[in-house]
Amino acid sequence: MKLFRWLMPKAQTLQNPEFARQTGLTSPTGTDIVVDPDASMRISTVYACVRIIGETIASLPLHVYQRQNGGRVRVDEHPLADLLGVSPNDEQTSMEMREFVMTSLGLRGNAYCSLRRGGRGEVRQIDNLKPQHMRVERDASRRLTFTYNEPNNEGVFSGRDIWRVAALSSDGVTGLSPISLARETLGLSLALDRSANRMFSNGSQTSMTLEFDHQLTDEQIENLREQFADNYAGWRNAHKPLILESGMKANAIGMSNADAQFLENRKAQVVEIAKWYRVPPHMLGDLDRATFSNIEHQSIEFVTHTIRPWLVRLEQSMNRDLLTDTERRRGLYSQHTVEGLLRGDTKSRYESYASAIVNGWMSRNEVRNLENLNQQEGLDEFMVPLNMAPAGQADEPEDSQATSRIADAENAALMIEAKNKTSEEFAAWAVDYYGRAASRIEADLGVDASGYMQARVSRMADARTPLEAAHEAAKHTLEDIEALT
C-alpha cells in the first residue's frame, strides 16, 4: 500500500506568502520589526490606501448585463444582480462584502468567497472567507482545491464553490501580498513611529546632563534624578520652565527633530507607501506637490491606473466563478459603473455633453440620466450633426429644420445657464440672450422677431428658481418660434 501511495501523483501546494508567515518563514525586517498585514494596518498611510481603494470600488454601482443586438441591457431579475448590488448574504450588504474583498487583496493579495448554489447551478449566496486561513492546492488531476482551516470553520472546497480574486501573481493563481513585498518600507515606517513615541514620552529630547560646580552624594544624585523626572520629563511637562539653583547648569545632548530630518523621513514614508498602492499623495493628505490645476487630473489618473485594473480583476473573476457556462454563452456578464468617478468640473461636463449631443452619439435623455435628472418626453431622439434636427426629420423642409435647430440650441442654453447662475444673473443673461436670439431668428427665418424677447421672458415671470424658469420656457420654445412664422 505504501508503494502505491508513493507512485500516485501528490497534491501540489501553491506558493502563498501568508502561509509562509504563519509557519515562521518570514524573518524580521532590517529594523528588526516583523511586519504582517495586521501590524501594517496600524500605519496610517497603509490604512488610508487600503480604505480609499476599498471604499471607492465597493461604493460603485455593480450590475448584471446581457449582450443583445450589438448592445446590452441590464438584467435586474437575475439572482446575481441582487447579490452583487444589494446583499450577498444575511449578514452583509454589497458594499461590506466588496470592501472586505478589496481589503483582503490590499493586505494579503488574495480574496476568497464561498458560494452556495441553487438547483440549476446559479449562485444563491456569497460568504467571505479570510485568505490567511486558505490553502490552495492542485489535486492529482491538476484541478484547484481549497482547504479552509479557521477555528470553528473548516472545509474543503472545489473550484466550483469558490469565488477567488488574485492580485499581482508569480504563479498565475495566488496573488502576492503587498505587505510582504513592502515589508522593509513598512518596517521603517513602524520604526519611525516607535521612535517618535519614545521621543515624546521623554519630553521630546533624547537626554540632558545637569552640571554642578561641586560633588554630590549618591543620595543627592538619586533624589535629583527622581525630582527632575517627576517635574520635567514626559509630554505633559513639555515647555515647563526649568528652574536651576545652587550653581546647577543644564546641558541638552543629542539632535533635534529638525536636525535629524526626522519629520522629513516620516513624510517621505507617506509617498513611498503610496507608490506601492498607486494612490496619489494628495488623497493621503500630502499636498506638497498638489496644485489647483493638477489635483483633478491626478484623481482621473487614480481612476484610470489604480481603480480600473482592480475593476477588471473583479469583473473577470466574477464572470468566471459566479456565472455558469450557459449564462456566459447567453452573453451575461457583470460590470461596474465608473462614469461618476470620471466626472470633471461643471463647465467641462456641460461642454462634453454639448459635443456628444451635437455629434449625435448621445441623446439628451442620456445626458439627463448622467446628471441624475428625470427623463423628459421627446428627448430620446439622436441629433443629426449637420443641423441638430432629430434623425427622423433629416428630410423635412429647410424652414422646419431651421426652426427645430433654433429651438434645440435655445433649450440647451437655457438648461446650462440655469444650473450655473443665481436668479439675478440668470435674468440678466436671459435679456441679453433673447436680444441676440431675435436677431438670429430674423436672419435665419426672415421674419419680424422684435417681440420675441418679451414673449420668452414673460414665460419665466412666475418662476421661483432659474431651473424652474428654464423648464417653463423650454416647454414653449418651438411654439413661440413657430408663432413668428
Q: What is the pLDDT of residues 237-294, one digit of tens each?
A: 666 777 766 667 776 655 555 545 656 677 788 888 999 999 998 888 877 766 656 6
* Residues 431, 421 contacting (CB under 8 angstroms): no
State residue 476's pLDDT score. 83
For 287, counting Cβ atoms within 10 Å of its Cβ (0-12 exposed, 13-18 middle, 19+ buried), the class is exposed
State residue 394's pLDDT score. 47
State residue 277's pLDDT score. 94
Q: Is residue 202 part of a domain?
A: no
CA dihedral 271, 275, 278, 283 (to 10 degrees): -10
Residue 330 grid coordinates = 447567453
Q: Is residue 31 part of a domain?
A: no
pLDDT of 21 strictly over 60 = no
Judge if 96 and 212 occupy the same domain. no
Judge if 358 and 480 occupy the same domain. yes
**Where is average pLDDT lowest: 339-343, 367-371, 435-439?**
339-343
Judge if 220 and 142 occupy the same domain. no
Higher local confidence (pLDDT), 249 or 175:
175
Q: Please, which pLDDT band fits residue 11 given cuts at 50, 70 and 90? A: very low
**Where is average pLDDT lowest: 162-171, 214-223, 463-472?**
214-223
pLDDT of 63 strictly over 70 = yes
Residue 430 and residue 418: Cα distance in Å, rounded? Answer: 10
State residue 99's pLDDT score. 97
Backbone angles phi, psi at 472, to 5 degrees: -65, -40
Judge if 48 and 144 occupy the same domain. yes
Write b or e for each residue in 298-329: b if 16 or more Cβ atoms lie within 10 A of its Cβ, otherwise e.
ebeebeeebbeebbebbeebbbebbbeeebee
Judge if 335 and 370 occupy the same domain. no
**Where is average pLDDT lowest: 22-31, 339-348, 468-477?**
22-31
pLDDT per residue as tens digits for the range 427-447: 888 888 888 888 878 877 778
Structural domain for 411, as ranges? 343-484
**Where is average pLDDT lowest: 66-80, 355-369, 373-387, 393-407?**
393-407
Judge if 400 and 444 occupy the same domain. yes
Judge if 335 and 397 occupy the same domain. no
State residue 144's pLDDT score. 94
Q: Is residue 30 part of a domain?
A: no
Residue 350 and residue 210: Cα distance in Å, rounded? Answer: 71
pTM: 0.63
Cross-strand pairs, 211: 249
Higher local confidence (pLDDT), 385 or 452:
452
pLDDT per residue as tens digits for the range 90-131: 999 999 999 999 999 999 999 999 999 998 889 999 999 999
For 213, counting Cβ atoms within 10 Å of its Cβ (0-12 exposed, 13-18 middle, 19+ buried), the class is exposed
**Where is average pLDDT lowest: 16-20, 55-59, 154-158, 187-191?**
16-20
Q: Is residue 408 part of a domain?
A: yes
pLDDT of 219 strictly over 70 = yes
State residue 10's pLDDT score. 42
Q: Is residue 432 part of a domain?
A: yes
Judge if 170 and 82 occupy the same domain. yes
Q: Is residue 36 part of a domain?
A: no
Q: Is residue 414 part of a domain?
A: yes
Task: Residue count of the chain, please give it.
Answer: 485
Q: How many C-beta neighbours within 10 Å does residue 481 have?
A: 24
Judge if 171 and 305 occupy the same domain. yes
Mean pLDDT of 459-480: 83
Residue 118 grid coordinates = 441553487
pLDDT of 4 strictly over 60 = no
Count the domains in the chain.
3
pLDDT of 297 strictly over 80 = no
State residue 207's pLDDT score. 58
Judge if 171 and 217 occupy the same domain. no
Q: Is residue 455 part of a domain?
A: yes
Q: How far is CA 409 from CA 40, 308, 364, 413, 481, in A?
A: 56, 36, 12, 6, 12
Residue type present at position 29: T
Q: Please, which pLDDT band fits residue 390 given cuts at 50, 70 and 90? A: low
Judge if 331 and 365 occupy the same domain. no
State residue 22's pLDDT score. 42
Judge if 318 and 278 occupy the same domain. yes
The C-alpha angle 334, 336, 339, rounded to 5 degrees, equals: 145
pLDDT of 391 strictly over 70 = no
pLDDT of 24 strictly over 70 = no
Q: Which of 295, 321, 342 is the last residue of a domain?
A: 342
Q: Which of 342, 359, 386 is the last residue of a domain?
A: 342
